[in-house]
Amino acid sequence: MRLLEFQAKRLLREQGIPVPNSKLLISSEDLHDLSYPIVLKAQVPVGGRGKAGAIKTVFDAQEAASTLRALLNTTVKDHPVKAVLAEEKVAIEKELYLSFLIDKHANRPMVMASAAGGMDIEEVAQRSPQRIIKKHVTLCPGLPNYLPRFLAKRLGAEPHTKAFVELFSKLFYIFQDYDATLVEINPLVVTPTGLMALDAKMLLDDKARFRQGERFDEFLKEQAPLVAEAKPEAERLAEEKGITYVQLDGTVGMISDGAGTGMLALDLIKATGGEAANFCELGVFGGTETMRDAMEVVLANSQTKALLISLIGGLTRMDEVAEGIVAYLQQNEVCVPLVVRMCGTEEERGKEMLRAVGIQTLDDLPTAVRTAVSRAKG
């Protein structure tokens, strides 16, 4: 779950990390008790707001009213703006970057810091990787005492070392306590009065909801009127049915019995000149119900022009999966061609069941992929 900026900053404020004075605006009626100049920032669950023109500085009430109306009638990367954060304008002497995140390659928490604050950190990483400091950290026994002092020196924030050490520890506490996968302050600014978090981004691990139930529910309830539902119908349906599904931009729908087979199918679709419409895998114990649900999810994507079903029966029985395909076809009108590659446990029984409803199966994946790509184009 991605927190909106005002939610992330509230967590920072609660831990004693300085943030600008602010007020959440839902309509022009909220434009009172503000001291100008102020910065108006659209509250949407995506980055790149500045480049999209969704962050504006205004200098009086009249300008604030017209700018707020304009922001509330726009979208940022397909997300309608339904709330705007009004913040005091801060005098900035230096911009830094600081974050804690999960390094997926090392499967460990990591701190990232840079003196190139206020910039797109991915762009900095590509063009000037030497400007980014990365250090792995451990949750137990915790942060080494030297690390924040070392970073303060490297970032040119030595005059504020004490404040930086305190902020560093508080940010790490939020990272741990909320089961976050990312907590980011960009920029962390040096002002005439000290350090301040000018912007904040936080991603919380959905898999930790069993631990964070009340907190997550509060965040989602708060976001509900502010964040329009942006999920495609197929992804919403996949969540409801517990199907592993990721929607992509192509036209070849794909269902596999495992992630390995699925990744191979994706590569072959691309190599054959096609584009996958999704990634979907049943799991090793996928059976009749799972197969039927997966077809419902994948075919809910209107961009799907052909469906490739690639199955290798190990723990999964091909007759049970075939039964799921047949059940879906009996209950629904399918307007796209189906291409089925099937081999493994109870393979012959599964093929027989599919032949009985007019579906011929193929024995090798490359041929199946070429056929699916061709039919999607035709």
What average pLDDT does this structure show over 36-45?
96
- For the chain, the C-alpha Rg in angstroms (whole number) is 26
What average pLDDT does this structure show over 52-71?
96
Instruction: State the DSSP code for 276.
Output: B
Q: Looking at residue 355, what is its pLDDT?
A: 94
Whole-number Å distance between alpha carbons of 119 and 198: 13
Name the pLDDT band for 328 (thresholds 50, 70, 90): very high
Q: Worst-scoring range by mean pLDDT, 44-58, 117-131, 155-169, 174-188?
A: 117-131
- Quick one: tokens of 107? 């499967």
Average pLDDT over the chain, rounded to an integer: 93
CATH (one of 3.40.50.720, 3.20.20.70, 3.60.15.10, 3.40.50.261) for 233-377: 3.40.50.261
The domain ranges of the chain are 21-88, 94-223, 233-377
* Residue 200 CA from chain centroid, whole number: 16
- pLDDT tens-digit series, residues 260-317: 889 999 999 999 999 999 999 987 666 899 999 999 999 999 999 999 999 887 778 8
Q: What percent of the chain has pLDDT over 90?
A: 77
Whole-number Å distance between alpha carbons of 31 and 84: 11
Q: For residues 83 and 26, is the Cβ–Cβ distance under 8 A?
A: yes
| pTM for the model | 0.68
Query: Does the pLDDT value for residue 155 go beyond 90?
Result: yes
Q: Looking at residue 351, what is its pLDDT?
A: 94
| Structure-token match 């191979």, residue found | 264
Q: Output the CATH code of domain 94-223.
A: 3.30.470.20
- Quick one: tokens of 3? 């927190």
Question: 347: number of CA atoms within 13 Å, CB side?
Answer: 14
Question: 258: number of CA atoms within 13 Å, CB side?
Answer: 12
Length in residues, the chain:
378
User: Which phi and psi (to 5°) does residue 99 adopt?
Assistant: -155, 155
Name the pLDDT band for 11 (thresholds 50, 70, 90): very high
Whole-number Å distance between alpha carbons of 121 and 174: 21
- pLDDT tens-digit series, residues 108-148: 999 999 999 988 888 888 888 899 999 999 877 778 889 99
Q: Domain spanning 21-88: which superfamily?
A: ATP-grasp fold, A domain (3.30.1490.20)
Name the pLDDT band for 230 (thresholds 50, 70, 90): low
Q: Looking at residue 284, what is its pLDDT?
A: 65
Q: Worst-scoring range by mean pLDDT, 5-14, 135-144, 223-232?
A: 223-232
On the question of a common fold for 21-88 and 233-377, the answer reads no
Q: Which residues contact 158 (CB under 8 A, 6 or more apart)?
A: 152
Whole-number Å distance between alpha carbons of 215 and 373: 45
* Residue 230 CA from chain centroid, whole number: 12
Whole-number Å distance between alpha carbons of 343 and 223: 46
- pLDDT tens-digit series, residues 63-114: 999 999 999 999 998 789 999 999 999 999 999 999 999 998 888 999 999 9
Long-range own/partner contacts, residues 205-211 (CB < 8 A, 24 or more apart): 205/179, 205/180, 205/181, 206/1, 208/179, 211/179
Whole-number Å distance between alpha carbons of 193 and 63: 28
Q: Looking at residue 247, what is its pLDDT?
A: 93
Higher pLDDT, 188 or 235: 188
Query: Does the pLDDT value for residue 229 go beyond 70?
Result: no
Query: Does the pLDDT value for residue 38 go beyond 80?
Result: yes
Q: Looking at residue 118, what is its pLDDT?
A: 86
